[in-house]
Amino acid sequence: MSDVEKITGKCALRGEVLLPGDKSISHRAAILLCLSDGQAKVRNFSQSEDVWSTVAVLQALGGQFERAGNGIIVRGFGARGPVQPNAPLDAQNSGTTMRLVAGVLAGWPIKTRLIGDESLQQRPMKRIIEPLSSMGAVISGTQKGTAPLEIQGGNLSAIEWQLPVASAQVKSCIMLAGLRARGRTIVTESPVSRDHTERMMKYLGINLDEKYNDNRHTVALEGFQRLQPHDISVPGDFSSAAFLISCALLCEGSLIKIKNVGVNPTRTGFFKILKSMGARVELENKREVCGEPVSDIVARYSKLKAITVGREQIPSLIDEIPALAVLATQAIGTTRITGAGELRVKESDRLKTITVELTKMGAKIEELQDGLVIEGPVSLKGATVSSQSDHRIAMALAVAGLIADGETIIEKPECVSISFPNFFDTLSFFKK
């Protein structure tokens, strides 16, 4: 991929595609199958850089992986536990890798060091350091509560933990540690975050108790249960699909179908928001695969209206807010997004970055402390913009470029490989 990506718009998108496997589910499949005794295959395994960071870390801990077509075969270390690595474990740019693997490492009597790239070392880790320390792990980070993390695991005791900020990564970290803790580990969150870990643990034989009360979710599990190695089929990544859907909604004359996409209700807040905006987007061929709901998504060009998005909706569409910001520039009225402060500690400060870059293209967008205010519709103009090495920002700017007058040049486009390596090729396919 070149140092820049050039986007020209004003054309219809048509066709149907299958997307690479869901990144979040692929992370969890690799980790949970490594904790099982035996061998299993993961079909449609994500090819994103983040997921391969998880694989590399698990290999250093004794897990075995073999590529098989569009999937992998996993041979877990299971009850033997991970081996003592002879070097730091590098999560690269992946917060999911660092936080979930930390939960695994907390339960075993080995000493490890988890590192990451410059971006990852700016992201908050106190949110896992505190619960894992309460369970009995010896874990520390920098004075700012960031990586690198030093972990001495083993001899854990169960805890009851209320998440101060809803986070599937933190919840999953505590649950993974809970598999090796004496007693019953209980985690409560509000609002509800994505539940891929819970679904996959159940699919692999773990007994979980879950309770829902309004927008409050509690999950509990007993320690020292054994995971069973079952084959897993990973659906297409909904967060990746969201950017293609956005392109179709905004480009006049477009009609696309994205097949075999995961539509887990804790991930599809973006779909519900689109319907509220008047988008012509539908789910077809609904079914369940390996514990996850799956569907084909059909999206057509649509006239959109503004929407208000609040804190309780954010966890189910956190990755799609950059795309939503672009859609809002073309919606009639004022779109207001609040409760999204978590976006400031992603690969970039996404609230600031999307504001700065869309403003270059003529958007009327205001950055709030925890959100955005966007006026629409406006005519966007091609410009030179930067992804700031953030994959979601790069894809959002590509969506904007498709409807802008003139040419849009995106700097640092290669970051899309973090989640959707073939994103620009897929856009070119739809434009033919």
* pLDDT computed for residue 430 by the predictor: 86
pLDDT at 103 over 70: yes
Structural domains in the chain plus CATH codes: 4-21+235-431 (3.65.10.10), 23-233 (3.65.10.10)
Q: Are 67 and 59 in contact (CB under 8 A)?
A: no
Tokens 């005791």 belong to: 157
Tell me the mean pLDDT in the region 173-186.
98
Could you tell me the two tokens for 114?
């988890």
Number of neighbours of residue 144 by Cβ within 10 angstroms = 11
How far apart are alpha carbons 33 and 428 in whole angstroms? 36
- Does pLDDT of 1 surpass 60? no
Average pLDDT score, the chain = 96
pLDDT of residue 298: 98
432 pLDDT band, cuts 50/70/90, is low
Residue 3: what pLDDT? 86
From the list 23, 149, 29, the residue with the least C-alpha distance to 90 is 149
Exactly one of 22, 90, 296, 319 is catalytic; which is it?
A: 319
Look at 421 and 90; give whichever has higher pLDDT.
90
What integer is the mean pLDDT of 181-202? Answer: 96
Q: Tell whether the torsion through CA atoms of 246, 249, 255 and 259 is positive or negative.
A: positive
Rounded distance between C-alpha atoms, residue 37 and residue 79, angstroms: 7
pLDDT digits (tens, 9 = 90+) for 33-63: 999 999 999 999 999 999 999 999 999 999 9
Q: Return d(Cα 25, Cα 11) in angstroms, integer.
A: 33
Give me 321's structure tokens: 């807010």
Q: Compute, in degrees rounded to 10, the torsion defined by CA atoms 214, 215, 216, 219.
A: 100
Q: How far apart are CA 92 and CA 57, in angstroms?
A: 10
Please report the pLDDT score of residue 214 as a whole number. Answer: 83
Of 206, 198, 200, the C-alpha closest to 227 is 206
Spell out the alpha helix ranges (H) of 6-142: 23-34, 49-60, 95-105, 126-135
Q: How many residues are there in the chain?
A: 432
Verify whether residue 319 is a known catalytic residue: yes
pLDDT tens sequence across 159-179: 999 999 889 999 999 999 999
Measured from the Cβ of residue 38, the count of other Cβ atoms closer than 10 Å reads 13
pTM > 0.85: yes or no: yes
Q: How far apart, in Å, do the first and last CA atoms of the chain sit? A: 20
Q: Is the pLDDT of residue 28 over 60?
A: yes
Distances (CA, A) of 221 to 202, 261, 317, 342: 11, 29, 27, 27
Give the pLDDT of residue 11.
Answer: 85
Cβ count within 10 A of residue 287 = 12
**Percentage of the residues of the chain whose pLDDT score is greater than 90:** 93
pLDDT tens, residue by residue, 233-287: 999 999 999 999 999 999 999 999 999 999 999 999 999 999 999 999 999 999 9
Task: Check the CA dihedral 221-223-225-230 and report its sign.
Answer: positive
> Would you state the pLDDT for residue 10?
79
How far apart, in Å, are the Cα atoms of 101 and each of 96, 223, 360?
A: 8, 17, 39
CA distances for 33 relative to 280, 378, 403, angstroms? 39, 49, 43
Mean pLDDT for the stretch of residues 322-342: 97
DSSP track, 313-341:
GGGGTGGGHHHHHHHHTTSBEEEEE-S-G
With a pLDDT cut of 70, the percent of the chain lying above it is: 99
CB 19 within 8 A of CB 46: no
What is the model's pLDDT at position 2? 66
Give 346-380 pLDDT, tens digit per residue: 999 999 999 999 999 999 999 999 999 999 999 99
Q: What pLDDT shows up at residue 215?
A: 84
